[in-house]
Amino acid sequence: MRTPLLAGNWKLQPLTRAEARALAAAVGSGARGIAGRDIVLAPPFTMLTTVAEAVADSPVAVAGQNLYWEKSGAFTGEISGPMLVDAGCRYVLIGHSERRQFFGETDYTVAKKVGAADACGLNPVMCVGETLEQRDAGVAMVVIEKQVRRGLVELTTEGLARLVIAYEPVWAIGTGRTASPEQAQEVHAAIRAVLREVAPRGIAESLRILYGGSVKPGNIDELMECPDVDGALVGGASLNADDFLRIIHFQESSL
């Protein structure tokens, strides 16, 4: 049984630290007593310590939205894994589609960052997904398989056991469009098939694969019925405490 993971990615939202503290505290309070799932918030870097303090007495963990693969050096504007750990992070998002689209992230840099996260004990959440053009061209699975295989080349076996993969159909992020449960399950099952080829026996079945792409309170229950959907990477809906709490309490009576 894989423990569902629900992660809220706040992206670059104009929250003050006071607003971030209030939002995180509301999520932390609403998550107290929850069982059978992991909860993560990924605020902007300037809010990491604020959010970590706000959720310190709750089941909610904190993630960075990115990291650089070197621990230190003349890399102006970057942040390292040890810095994230010191700020209270347990997870880090890597290779989000917006990083690939707008900031030149490649499978090579994703692999370097996944390895760096592993080296400092962070749980990497490696994002993969196809564009609408790639899906329409019938090469979505080819693209995703390459992203998965290439992203894991610098990961140790121990780090592989901590890995989380997030499938994000790029055409569904922030558009209001969501992959159907059947589409999500098809891709998640294909990702797990790749993992069975590259991971030691047993690890592929234990790795969590999240769905990300316009996840909302109204579609989370249906998505989580899919056997290979192990959670969600939530964008806009994670900025509203009530909406995100509804998402993390999905199908609660069935657990």
- Single out the catalytic residue among 78, 96, 158, 188: 96
Q: What is the mean pLDDT of residues 225-243?
A: 97
Residue 75: pLDDT above 90? yes
pLDDT in tens, 165-220: 999 998 877 777 778 899 999 999 999 999 999 998 889 999 999 999 889 999 99
pLDDT in tens, 82-138: 999 999 999 999 999 999 999 999 999 999 999 999 999 999 999 999 998 999 899
Annotation says 168 is catalytic:
yes
Complete DSSP assignment for 23-74: HHHHHHHHHTT--S-EEEEE--GGGHHHHHHHTTTSSEEEEES--BSSSSSS
Q: Hunting for tokens 């993992």 — which residue is that?
A: 195
* Confidence tier at 147 by pLDDT (50, 70, 90): very high
Please report the pLDDT score of residue 170 as a whole number.
87
**Whether domain 5-254 has CATH 3.20.20.70:** yes
CA distance 226 to 85: 33
Written as six digits, the tokens of 155 are 């990961």
- Single out the catalytic residue among 98, 105, 154, 168: 168
Amino acid occupying residue 165: I
Domain spans, the chain: 5-254
CA distance 95 to 140: 17
Annotation says 222 is catalytic:
no
Residue 140: pLDDT above 90? yes
Q: What is the mean pLDDT of residues 228-238?
A: 97
* Cα Rg of the chain (Å, integer): 17
Please report the pLDDT score of residue 254 as a whole number.
44
pLDDT in tens, 6-22: 999 999 998 999 999 99
Please report the pLDDT score of residue 192 as a whole number.
96
Please report the pLDDT score of residue 255 as a whole number.
40
Please report the pLDDT score of residue 174 as a whole number.
73
Q: Report yes or no on whether pTM surpasses 0.85.
A: yes
Residue 66: pLDDT above 50? yes
pLDDT in tens, 38-63: 999 999 999 999 999 999 999 999 99
Lowest mean pLDDT of 137-141, 142-146, 172-176, 224-228, name the range: 172-176
